[in-house]
Structure 1
Amino acid sequence: MLRPTFALFVLLALGSFGSLRAEAQSSPLAGRLADILRQAELGDGVSFAVTSLKTGREVWASRGDALRNPASNMKLVTAAAALSELGPGFTMSTGVYGHIENGRVADLVLRGYGDPSLARGDLYELATDLTDRGVRAVDRIWVDGTYFDDQILPPAFDQQPNETAAFRAPIGAVTVDRGSFVLRVIPGDTGSAARVLLAGENYFEVDNGMTTTDGGPPNVIASQRDADDGRLALVLRGSVPSGILGVSYRRRVGNALLHAGYVMQDILEDVGIGGRRGVAVGAGPHGLPLLGSHESEPLAQLLHRVGKWSDNFYAEMILKVMGAEKRRPGTSARGAEVNVEILGRAGADTERVTIVNGSGLFDGNQITARHYTKLLHWVYQQESIRAEYLAHLAIGGVDGTLRRRLQNVPAGVVRAKTGTLNDVIALGGFVLGEAPDEGYAFSYLANGIRGRQGAARNLADQLVTALVEAR
């Protein structure tokens, strides 16, 4: 005979088990998702939540309220906030300002407003505007980045202080070529020094110990550090074989504003504008007239780099633009506040959310799968931004970071954002139905899967495929 207390415990346990089983089996889809997740055996670091686009009701969730590092799924929030707050047609401008006296500009101000797509070709366009106005000489180039604050590294980016890859590029209101440069090494005659080519060459202090050999593979050893004057010191050792065109490596700059100034210095010379062309960072003289300007593509187009190709630099620049449009100078913290606000507007509880940057790089952000499904459902209901938001996401089996994944599903059905860190795999977005109001919003966040990233990625694809089959 069972003791009353023990019998009560057994009944409660059986009841709890039964209710959990009933929840998992409340629909064929829910049961299928539960089975897939259980069979993967990836542990309790995996969260998955699904919401109906038609009703807004949750279809199924597992650990939907567990806080996770979202990796690049943070960009889903940044893109939603940017489209909502700035608008799909928002553009970022870059201009040159100065007084022309007898063909000379004493102080030329290069002023930017956070265009993440600004490239050397755009600076050539501005330089041509100057020559068209009869400018033949420039004494000083001021790089005005005061639209943003002075914090050049986004929050959490200091967790890899020795990283020189372009994905960890600094940000500034005037940043050229995504805060990166191309180091190009060209062979000379056998036994002689190799040549080094750099755009904005006066930004660099180069110690070139590269030589040219008869053969063998290229062996380029490069180290870099910020020099005392803000420029970048490069030390190059190794060799390149004769008979090749050269080798190229893309790396991050240290000071985005100063780099932009020296790139402009080179370009002015290229278009025939002389003068001393000294470079300084600062607002420069006030009240100067506009001599030429460049506008970025609309925000809706810029976001394709964020959603389809997971561009960290674009995400961090856009986050800071949101902060600047709220109150200048723009800060990452103020942009993160906009991200939190958009989650609240979507009906998510923001008390436990932590957002420190816009890209999701490194450790710092904490969010749940249910936050994402609420946000995604809300965005889908906003007719003013729905099409642009869907368009910025990768298409399963077609393009972006999903071009080699989910190739077994009909093209165009899965629109999602991937996320990858050493210990994180994420996937969030939409499975679209036959009718516009049908389908699902989903969020998959897997933490603590170091060494099992492949299995975690396969699990995400299996769960999404099940949604596709059930639509």
Structure 2
Amino acid sequence: MTSFASDPRVTGHVSVKVVDAATGKTIAEHEPDAARTPASNMKIVTAAVALRVLGPATTLPTTARLQGGTMYLVGGGDTLLAAGAGSPSAVKGRAGLDDLAEQAAAKARAAGVTNVELAVDSTLFQGPVRQPEVSGANTGFIMEMRPLAVMQSRNQAGAYTPNPDLSAGQAFAAALSKRGIAVTAVNRASSPAPASAKEIGKVQSAPVRDLVDFALTESDNTTADALGHLVAAKSGEKPTFDGAGRATVAELKRMGLDTKGVVVADNSGLSASNRLNAALLTEILKQAGSCDRCRLAALASGLPVGALTGTLDDRLNGTAAAGRLRAKTGTLADATSLSGYVQTSKGRLLVFSILVGDLKEGSLAQGKAAVDSFAASLAAS
């Protein structure tokens, strides 16, 4: 541990904790309670609270409602809609707008309605569509925070495009027109769809456990922040970035965790204002790894595997950690992190968290290399 903390490649401040999963005994630590910038290790926290508050089997509805000549497309938090037919086995595109249009068009025609104005109801999420501190180049790593989108509103180059909810509305309108329903206008609703509007179609996202897997494995910022907003709404907070932060911290306290120094500015980890510590992250991972049937049991499976999957597919190659480490990565310009589980050469399972913040400019790559070297040494022990 001393050698890692004093590694010249680590130009910032370190918070580390390593625990034996079987006994709970601390194997090594260095300032484990110090608050550090977690980067995408924040998604471990988000995964835990989403699984606990929303439930692993919960799905997110996208519905169509009709009142008179107005049809409402109501977003329920699914940002991974397919423009065409949904795929029952997929995470991205489980629900499809074609399927929703098929249901809605049939019921609209049955009611004698063949011309509608489409109102896109995005009111489930409130407040700014971006965390205020996430600006500049970092805006290229996340969609505007809206409760519905077709495949997160990415263009052919992979870039996020503005007004994802309205783009989904346009895709839905096109699907309706193919089924004999003329759409005369597509606008964003200024208020929620009225309770008197009749539901005429519904499609459901993949369950939360699969969305958590996707957010962790691919380090998907949009899914993480959408889950945070949904946690806020379910917890009685405003579904905003601030509300999500309050709801997240409150749930951590309900888990019996010490939240001193914890700051949740967003649930993706893009904000540089976020603060976590290694002790808290290892405790969450311990809880997730020690329950077979509790809601947290779904967390570990989403963590990338060293040299094999997700954001670790090109790291730890040729080391003892390849294939034996499952952990969440985290990267910002001045911070790097890695937290998860590793099996040692003797078959011992360790829970660990490594947070490095305040890296000097230009030293990120060497800092990540030092983290990987330390993680590999745990596997080789």
Given the two structures, how large is their TM-score scaled by the length of structure 2? Answer: 0.87
Q: Distance in 2 between matches of 1:181 and 1:44?
A: 35
Deviations 1:199-247 (A, max 9, x none): xxxxxxxxxxxxxxxxxxxxxxxxxxxxxxxxxxxxxxxxxxxxxxxxx
Task: Identify the range of structure 1 (39-48 vs 390-399) with the bigger mean alpha-carbon deviation.
Answer: 39-48
RMSD in angstroms over aligned alpha carbons? Answer: 2.5
Whether the 8 Å CA contact 1:164–1:251 is kept in 2: the answer is no
Cα 1:378/1:132, change in 2 over 3 Å: same
Whether the 8 Å CA contact 1:181–1:251 is kept in 2: the answer is yes
Letter in 1 for 2:142: R
SS at 2:79's partner residue? coil
1:457 and 2:368 correspond: yes
Which segments of 5 or more consecutive residues in structure 1 lack a partner in the other structure? Answer: 1-32, 100-104, 183-247
Letter in 2 for 1:331: T
Alignment of 1:99-114 (within 5 A): 99=67, 106-114=69-77
Task: Identify the range of structure 1 (38-47 vs 363-372) with the bigger mean alpha-carbon deviation.
Answer: 38-47
Among 32, 41, 57, the residue aligned to 1:64: 32
Structure 1 residue 163: Cα displacement: 6.4
1:264 and 2:172 correspond: yes
Aligned to 1:245: none
Cα 1:444/1:272, change in 2 over 3 Å: same
Aligned to 2:342: 431
Q: Distance in 2 between matches of 1:332 and 1:288?
A: 29
1:469 and 2:373 correspond: no
Aligned to 2:356: 446
Letter in 1 for 2:313: R
Aligned to 2:129: 152
Structure 1 residue 96: Cα displacement: 0.3
SS at 2:257's partner residue? coil
Q: Distance in 2 between matches of 1:435 and 1:97?
A: 59
Whether the 8 Å CA contact 1:349–1:371 is kept in 2: the answer is yes
Cα 1:38/1:94, change in 2 over 3 Å: same
SS at 1:251's partner residue? coil
Structure 1 residue 55: Cα displacement: 2.4
SS at 1:394's partner residue? coil
Which segments of 5 or more consecutive residues in structure 2 lack a partner in the other structure? Answer: 85-95
Q: Distance in 1 between matches of 2:37 and 2:73?
A: 38
Cα 1:397/1:275, change in 2 over 3 Å: closer
Q: Distance in 2 between matches of 1:54 and 1:434?
A: 16
1:332 and 2:300 correspond: no
Q: Distance in 2 between matches of 1:92 and 1:328?
A: 18
Aligned to 2:212: 303
Aligned to 1:85: 53
Aligned to 1:414: 325
Letter in 2 for 1:273: I
Cα 1:163/1:273, change in 2 over 3 Å: farther
Q: Distance in 1 between matches of 2:280 and 2:261?
A: 10
Whether the 8 Å CA contact 2:125–2:145 is kept in 1: the answer is no
Whether the 8 Å CA contact 2:108–2:114 is kept in 1: the answer is no
Q: Answer 1 or 2: which has greater strand percent.
A: 1
Cα 1:139/1:329, change in 2 over 3 Å: farther
Structure 1 residue 80: Cα displacement: 0.9
Q: Distance in 2 between matches of 1:410 and 1:71?
A: 22
1:251 and 2:155 correspond: no
Alignment of 1:393-412 (within 5 A): 393-407=303-317, 408-409=319-320, 412=323
Letter in 1 for 2:105: T
SS at 1:96's partner residue? strand
Structure 1 residue 412: Cα displacement: 4.5
Among 127, 141, 146, the residue aligned to 1:172: 146
Whether the 8 Å CA contact 1:315–1:359 is kept in 2: the answer is yes
Q: Distance in 2 between matches of 1:350 and 1:291?
A: 44
Letter in 2 for 1:260: A
Letter in 2 for 1:73: N
Aligned to 1:126: 100
Structure 1 residue 394: Cα displacement: 0.4
Give the number of the structure whose alpha-carbon radius of gyration is greater.
1
Q: Distance in 2 between matches of 1:381 and 1:257?
A: 40
Among 110, 115, 118, the residue aligned to 1:141: 118
Percent of aligned pairs sharing the same letter: 28
Cα 1:346/1:431, change in 2 over 3 Å: farther
Structure 1 residue 376: Cα displacement: 1.6
Deviations 1:392-426 (A, max 9, x none): 11011111001111233366521111011111111
SS at 2:6's partner residue? helix
Given the two structures, how large is their TM-score scaled by the length of structure 1? Answer: 0.71
Q: Distance in 1 between matches of 2:244 and 2:345?
A: 36
Q: Distance in 2 between matches of 1:285 and 1:386?
A: 36
